[in-house]
């Protein structure tokens, strides 16, 4: 099969939302349709025997939240679908931001009762900056929630995107009877407990058909007619090209936990979602149809299988065909590497792949060669853009609670920091280690994983720090003066780059004014 037809078969997308909007449950139901799993799990703390397929880390099962991006692939209607399920919790946002660099489109999940929440706004802003096409799925329609039109207005205003409903609910909460699929002109009736049954689909191309009254009752039918008429009047006809250019976002309604409304969205998604898109590098734009292979690492996960202590780099294929057992250039290290067992994923289950095409996400076993953002090519020097480390907002000293396990602690910290979950700074003055994170929950995850995956125990000590800034200076004399005057506030990150740790916003401002020759950066990509 030609590379062109392989690329046309690929759909790679991320699922993002605020915590508890039902994102991981939606992922499970999509996998169910793809035949990738037989029984869907639920994300609940210790209350169910089967946990969600995409939540494969022990701490995720205990907490009932997703803390790491999962990658899953399945086939549906002749296409290969790659889903990246991301953490919704803001403390893990950095993992989500980086994952968004590896997808071609996004599904945003919104809770019908809560509407648009803060974390959703931040994530959609990243999608807007990158012009990533967005589909909106309004979830939990079997519960009482906001009025459909009010929700659409809220989505447009808060997320700053134009929407077009492609399905519409018949009632809500107690009165919820189903959805009318505006895209395919079909009425889909809701069966609350029929989770594994086929949905009852009735073709109603004309809403004035008396069959509608028979199915949902006269009052609900009249209400639906009136609301659909309003949609047709207010919103432009749906244009798939405008969606692919990120100018309009289709909206679907449903209930993921009841497996309802999901199939309608998936069927539309496979028709309209873009195949793999070009990617920007510092040197040029890389087109998927190019002959030569290129890809970049957007995530690293240590100990996916704790029994084997394996470390896997997740790579998005951007162009050409990736072949197993072939020498490729690791651009940053300027050396050739060969991969004997690249893998494709079903969450933590892995299968070896011989070939991968643009849009695919594959796992490369890594003995410490990779960092997030690394490029791998057939020989050309390319540096993919937009995969930075952000300046942390919370800091703590790390203390080793078991001096006999110092080696394990250092190894664990190094490997976990390579994953990009947090950043490690070593203070110049006394060599003390400081962990910086975007959110407080990360500290618990690091502590838990150090103990259970590396056999090392640590405790934290608070430190009053406001911000970390990477330091750059072209004038050696000015840099030397800065270093001698601010010695106690300086540290090195894991790549030995110089970092200024400011105790407060005022200190940072003062230092910037006193040392105009020194540049302070708030992402590591400068």
Give the integer Cα–Cα distance in Å for 48 and 42.
7
Buried b (16+ CB within 10 A) or exposed e, 317-339: bbbbbbbeeeebbbbbeeeeeeb
How confident is the model at residue 51, as a pLDDT?
43
Give the integer Cα–Cα distance in Å for 53 and 119.
23
Structure token pair of residue 342: 């690249």
Give the integer Cα–Cα distance in Å for 389 and 522.
9
- Please say whether the dihedral angle defined by the alpha carbons of residues 46, 108, 83 and 142, taken in this order, is positive or negative: positive
Please report, for residues 49, 297, 362, the alpha-carbon distance to residue 385 in angstroms, rounded to integers and kept in the order given: 42, 11, 19
How confident is the model at residue 42, as a pLDDT?
38
Distance of alpha carbon 213 from the chain centroid:
42
Token pair 């071609």 is at which residue?
Answer: 104
- Predicted TM-score of the model (pTM): 0.73
How confident is the model at residue 303, as a pLDDT?
55
What are the backbone angles phi and psi of residue 127, rounded to the nearest 5°? -65, -40
Distance of alpha carbon 66 from the chain centroid:
11
How confident is the model at residue 136, as a pLDDT?
93
How confident is the model at residue 491, as a pLDDT?
93
Give the integer Cα–Cα distance in Å for 137 and 249.
10
**Contact between 317 and 295 (Cβ < 8 Å):** yes
Please report, for residues 71, 239, 354, 362, 484, the alpha-carbon distance to residue 351 in angstroms, rounded to integers and kept in the order given: 13, 38, 10, 10, 54
Instruction: Give the orientation angle of helix 262-272 with respect to helix 23-33, to 10 degrees.
Output: 70
How confident is the model at residue 310, as a pLDDT?
65
Name residues of the chain where pLDDT drops below 70.
Answer: 1, 23, 34-70, 85-96, 192-200, 302-310, 345-350, 386-391, 420-421, 439, 524-526
3-class secondary structure per residue, 289-302: CCCCCEEEEEEEEE
Helix (H, G, I), strand (E, B) or coil at 49: coil
**Other beta carbons within 10 Å of 37:** 20
Give the integer Cα–Cα distance in Å for 70 and 289.
27
Which residues, in sequence order, are CB contacts of 495 under 8 Å at separation 6+? 371, 524
**Contact between 110 and 17 (Cβ < 8 Å):** yes
Structure token pair of residue 463: 């430190």
Q: What domains appear along the chain, each with residue ranges and CATH number? A: 3-272 (3.40.50.300), 279-377 (3.40.50.300), 394-521 (3.30.70.3280)
């Amino acid at each position: 099969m030609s590379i062109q037809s392989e690329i046309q078969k690929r759909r790679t997308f991320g699922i993002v939302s605020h915590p508890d909007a039902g994102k991981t449950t939606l992922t499970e139901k999509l996998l169910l349709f793809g035949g990738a799993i037989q029984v869907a799990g639920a994300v609940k703390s210790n209350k169910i025997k089967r946990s969600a397929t995409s939540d494969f880390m022990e701490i995720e099962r205990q907490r009932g939240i997703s803390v790491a991006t999962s990658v899953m692939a399945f086939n549906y209607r002749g296409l290969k679908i790659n889903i990246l399920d991301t953490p919704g919790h803001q403390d893990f946002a950095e993992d989500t931001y980086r994952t968004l660099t590896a997808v071609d489109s996004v599904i945003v999940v919104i809770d019908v009762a809560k509407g648009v929440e803060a974390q959703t706004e931040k994530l959609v802003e990243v999608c807007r900056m990158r012009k990533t096409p967005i589909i909106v799925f309004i979830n939990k329609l079997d519960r009482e929630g906001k009025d459909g039109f009010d929700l659409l207005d809220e989505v447009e205003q808060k997320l700053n995107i134009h929407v077009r409903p492609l399905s519409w609910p018949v009632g809500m909460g107690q009165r919820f009877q189903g959805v009318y699929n505006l895209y395919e002109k079909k009425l889909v009736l809701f069966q609350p407990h029929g989770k594994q049954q086929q949905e009852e689909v009735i073709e109603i191309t004309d809403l004035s058909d008396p069959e509608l009254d028979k199915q949902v009752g006269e009052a609900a039918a009249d209400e639906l007619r009136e609301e659909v008429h309003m949609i047709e009047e207010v919103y432009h006809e749906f244009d798939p090209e405008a969606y692919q250019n990120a100018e309009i976002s289709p909206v679907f309604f449903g209930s993921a936990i009841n497996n309802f409304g999901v199939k309608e969205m998936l069927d539309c998604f496979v028709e309209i979602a873009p195949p793999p898109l070009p990617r920007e590098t510092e040197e040029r734009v890389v087109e998927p149809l190019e002959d030569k292979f290129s890809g970049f690492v957007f995530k690293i996960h240590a100990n996916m299988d704790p029994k084997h202590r394996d470390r896997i780099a997740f790579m998005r294929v951007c162009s050409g065909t990736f072949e197993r057992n072939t020498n490729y250039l690791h651009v940053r290290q300027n050396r050739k590497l060969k991969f004997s067992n690249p893998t494709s994923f079903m969450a933590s289950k892995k299968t070896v792949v011989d070939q991968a095409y643009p849009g695919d996400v594959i796992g490369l076993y890594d003995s410490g060669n990779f960092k997030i953002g690394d490029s791998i090519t057939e020989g050309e020097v390319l540096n993919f853009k937009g995969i930075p480390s952000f300046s942390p907002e919370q800091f703590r000293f790390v203390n080793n609670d078991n001096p006999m396990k110092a080696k394990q602690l250092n190894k664990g910290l190094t490997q976990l920091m390579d994953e990009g979950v947090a950043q490690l700074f070593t203070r110049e003055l006394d060599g003390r280690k400081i962990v910086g994170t975007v959110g407080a929950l990360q500290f618990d995850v690091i502590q838990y994983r150090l103990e259970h995956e590396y056999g090392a125990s640590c405790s934290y000590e608070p430190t009053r720090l406001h911000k970390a800034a990477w330091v750059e200076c072209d004038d050696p004399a000015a840099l030397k003066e800065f270093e001698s005057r601010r010695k106690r506030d300086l540290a090195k990150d894991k790549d030995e780059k110089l970092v200024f740790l400011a105790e407060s916003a005022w200190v940072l401002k003062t230092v910037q004014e006193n040392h105009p020759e020194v540049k302070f950066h708030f992402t590591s990509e400068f």
